[in-house]
Amino acid sequence: MKFLDVKTDYAFKKVFGSEESTDLLISFLNSIVYPDAPYKIKELTIIDPYNIPMLKGMKNSFVDVKAILENDTKVIIEMQVLNHQGFEKRVLYNAAKNYSVQLDSAEAYELLNPVIALNIVDFMMFDESEKVVTNFKLLEKEEFIHYSDDIELIFIELPKFTKTEKELQSIQDEWIYFIKNAGSLEYIPKDIDKCIEKALVTVNEANMSKEELEAQHKRKEFISVQRSSIELATIKGMERGFEQGIEKGLEQGIEKEKYNIAKNLLQAGVDIEVIASTTQLSVLEIEKLRSQG
C-alpha cells in the first residue's frame, strides 16, 4: 500500500476538511485539545467545507481548516511545513483576528466565544522544551493565575515525535504518528483506532484518481522545491552577507544578506509572498529586485 503525505494541503484537507471527515476531525481534536477533559466534542461544523478537486493554484506553504464546536468555540487547525520569520506573530495575529471579528461595534463583549489556534508544524519551535504538544494561554507572570481561556495557542512539533508504531500509547500518539508518517507507511497498522484506520483508507493512493494523484505529487514537489530553495539561498546569502559584513560593517552585511537570499529565491522560482515571509523584505522591494533582473 501507498498513502499520501498528510503534511501536504491536498491530503490534509482531504482527511480533516471535508464534510465526510467530520468524525475524523472530532477524534483528532478530542485527542489534542481535550485529552484529559471529562467531556468530549460530540459535534462540530467545518467552516467552508473543502471541495477536494479545488486545489490548483494554491501557492502557500501552509493550509488551514476551521471548525466551530458545539459550545461555539472556534478552532483554526493549521499545517505549516516551512518555517519563516514572523510565523509566531502570524499565529497570534490570526487567533486575535478571529476572536475580535465576532462582534459588531454595538454588540456586548460577553458574546465573544473562545478561539483555539492549533498549529501542526514540521519544524522545531521551542528548543527549550522536549514536549511534542505545547499549550499557551493568558496567565499571570509569577503566580500563573488564569486571566482568560478565550484565546489558546496549541503547537504540535512533528520533529520531536519519535515514537515507533510499537511505542504508541494513546489516541493522541496515533494521530501524531499518522500525520508525521502516513506518506512513508506501507500498510495500515494493526490495532490502531478506527478513525485513524479510516483516515489511512482516505489517503490510500489505490483509492485516488489519476488527477488526484497528479495534484498531490505536484504539491509535494512544490513544497520540496520551496524548502530546498530557501535552504540553499540562505546559505549563499549568509556567505555573501558575511563577506559584505567584514568589508562594510555587520549591519550592512545583514541587510545585504536579505537581498542576496531574495535574489536566489527569485531565480529558483519561489513565490513572492514566501520570499517576503522568509526575508522580511516587502513585496514591493522583491518585485523591484525581480524587475532589475
* pLDDT digit string (tens) for the chain, length 293 residues: 889 888 877 788 889 988 888 999 999 999 999 988 878 898 898 887 665 444 444 444 456 788 999 889 999 998 887 776 678 888 999 899 999 888 876 678 888 999 999 999 988 999 899 999 999 999 998 998 988 889 999 999 999 999 999 999 999 999 999 999 998 999 999 889 999 999 999 988 877 767 766 666 666 665 555 555 555 555 555 555 545 544 444 455 556 667 777 777 777 667 777 777 777 788 888 888 888 76
- The domain segmentation of the chain, as residue ranges, is 9-208, 213-292
Give the dihedral of Cα atoms 30, 32, 37, 42; nearest 10 deg: -10
Q: Report whether 73 contacts 117 (CB < 8 A).
A: no
What's the half-sphere exposure (Cβ side, CA atoms, 13 Å) at 209? 5
Q: Report whether 193 contacts 28 (CB < 8 A).
A: no
d(CA 5, CA 103): 38
d(CA 201, CA 178): 12
Counting every residue, how long is the chain? 293
Buried b (16+ CB within 10 A) or exposed e, 104-140: eeeeeeeebebbbbbbbbbeebeeeeeebbeeeeeee
